[in-house]
Amino acid sequence: MRRFVFDGRALSLLDEKAGRYSIVPIATSIDGLVAVLDEKYGFTPPLAEFALSDPYADFHRQARTVTYAGLAKIPGRFPGLGGVKCHRLELKGPDANAELWIGVKDQLPHKLIATFNREGQPQLRVSFSKWNLAAPVTPADFVFTPPEGSEKIEMWSTARMMAKAKK
């Protein structure tokens, strides 16, 4: 499992299985973090779009087309009971096509199915549930403490990796 912790001044990345972590100074907003990681380090954390201040604007920016696919219901835990009525959006882009289900009542994402445009057409399927928009958050939630026995390593930029590969 990998963990990302960002406090507005630094990003800490932990690979729990490997027992390694890295801390890089990045003084920016959460929106800026995603841009810096993509530009400098060549990656975007999984589902980072959902952490942005305006995720729907980012979806529109990345997609070539966005189509309204109608209403559907995500079933509840028991057949015929409960469930969430959603608007279905189809997003088509150069790297992936996705279906995003947005709750009619709460306007929150409830389901995402992304199919990547590469060999084998791998899919990412995510269900979002038990939203708590009033969860208590403290500064301590953004403090990274490396696990005992883990090793600190340097995180290389894409430019540094490319330069090293040329040697």
In percent, the amount of the chain with pLDDT more than 90 equals 61
Closest CA to 26 of 34, 16, 18: 34
For residues 97, 98, 99, 103, the Cα torsion angle rounded to the nearest 10 degrees is -150
Beta bridge partners of 113: 99, 125
pLDDT of residue 152: 97
Structure tokens at 149: 């026995």
| Residue 92 CB neighbour total at 10 angstroms | 14
Ramachandran angles phi, psi of 157, nearest 5°? -75, 165
Domain ranges of the chain: 2-129+140-166
pLDDT of residue 32: 92
Beta bridge partners of 72: 86
Which parts of the chain register pLDDT below 50? Answer: none
pTM as predicted: 0.71
Structure tokens at 86: 């959603």
Structure tokens at 120: 């084998």
Structure tokens at 119: 């060999």
Could you name the CATH architecture of 2-129+140-166?
A: Clam (2.50)
Q: Does residue 13 sit in helix, strand or coil?
A: strand
For residues 154, 157, 162, 166, the Cα torsion angle rounded to the nearest 10 degrees is -40
Q: Within a 13 Å sphere around the CA of 153, how many CA atoms are in the beta-carbon half?
A: 12
For residues 24, 44, 5, 56, the Cα torsion angle rounded to the nearest 10 degrees is 130
pLDDT of residue 70: 96
| Residue 9 CB neighbour total at 10 angstroms | 10
pLDDT of residue 83: 85
pLDDT of residue 80: 61
